[in-house]
Amino acid sequence: MKIAIVNDMVIAVEALRRVLLTVPEYQVAWIAANGAEAVAKCAKDTPDLILMDLLMPVMDGVEATRQIMKQSPCAIVIVTANVGQNTAKVFEAMSCGALDAVNTPILGSQGKPEPSQAALLGKIATIAKLIGKSTQGSNNKSQTSNLKPQISCDTALPPLVTIGSSTGGPKALATILSRLPANFGAAIAIVQHVDAQFAVGMIDWLNNLTPLTVKKASVGDRLEKGIVSVACTNDHLCLQSNHTLNYTKDPIDYPYRPSIDVFFKSVAQYWTPRGTAILLTGMGRDGAEGLKMLRSHGWHTIAQDQASCVVYGMPRAAVELNAAVEVLNPDAIIISLLQRSVVSY
């Protein structure tokens, strides 16, 4: 797996290089000292993955991510000294196409990386699975593919809109949520591929952009009209037979965490009123099977169109499976939701 390093700090570059050397399958493709240099090098030699710093001279990591994803797209992980203090820029980079973010590992006194290397190596291993570069076998099928809808006599359930998103998802989510009115008549549940340590920051960020209330989806919660519930752990969000939310570790080896498919399929099984399900931009195929199952159960299903996607992976997979009733850009998705809210909600 060819991995590039983009960082203007010599000590950070050395820490990253040493961490990568601990895995024989990882090869340092090239090193760039700023975003502009990275854009140029990536155009000539596109790696499998870029470890991109946020704050650099000449061109920062956000703009470099934006340009690379337009010109020579590849997987990008933001690696920065303090992710927590740069939440806004992290989500800006993720909106441009970065897959995830992690703190820069620190070299110990003996020149060995501290335990922070495990977090970085874990991210790289997950992305290797997503892009087909993993040397380890993986069962990429969720374990709910044959579930049948459960009959329920609960008529008090609110209308539901469920959304799955990944690479570039924060921007699409912000566009959609910011245009929905405070009195929107449905519950909304979101599964975004994002590490648990950034989920709260993303929820706060979205909360400031929409008149709706955005909150963590916690164990035991019920989906409520006018409330946006967002998956917030590295386990998979799921709906239970009593219509409360829960998290499950299974399937353990599924590379997408939290998984959109797991949630969509649990909704298809237990949420008997027909709602709207949306699959937004993202790498891979997560959510496509779940969207198809929801469509087969009578839901109105929407996939984001190619032109507006940062990465046309998950929506493409949904279209190929004939899982989407409509293929729309975020602006059209808003119109569809508002029109259906008048009719159905």
Residues marked active site are found at 166, 193, 286
93-96 contacts: CB < 8 A, separation 24 or more?
93/52, 93/54, 93/61, 93/62, 93/65, 94/167, 94/168, 94/169, 94/170, 94/194, 95/168, 95/169, 95/170, 95/171, 95/174, 95/310, 96/62, 96/65, 96/66, 96/69, 96/168, 96/171, 96/310
| Complete domains list, the chain, with CATH | 2-130 (3.40.50.2300), 160-344 (3.40.50.180)
CB under 8 Å to 324, separation ≥6 — which residues?
279, 291, 295, 301, 302, 303, 315, 318
In angstroms, the CA 7 to CA 23 distance is 21
238-244 contacts: CB < 8 A, separation 24 or more?
238/262, 238/263, 238/266, 239/263, 239/266, 239/267, 239/269, 239/270, 239/271, 240/266, 240/270, 241/150, 241/270, 243/152, 243/154, 243/157, 243/270, 243/271, 244/219, 244/220
Look at residue 220 in the predicted model and tell me its pLDDT. 95
- For the chain, which residues score pLDDT lower than 50? 113, 137-146, 149-153, 343-345
State whether residue 113 is helix, strand or coil: strand
Look at residue 115 in the predicted model and tell me its pLDDT. 60
Residue by residue, DSSP assigns 78-110 as EEES-GGGGHHHHHHHHHHT--EEEEPP-B-TT
Pair type for strands 245-248 and 227-230? unpaired
In angstroms, the CA 85 to CA 223 distance is 31
pTM value is: 0.84
Look at residue 337 in the predicted model and tell me its pLDDT. 94
Please count the CA atoms within 13 angstroms of the CA of 182 that sit on its side-chain side: 2
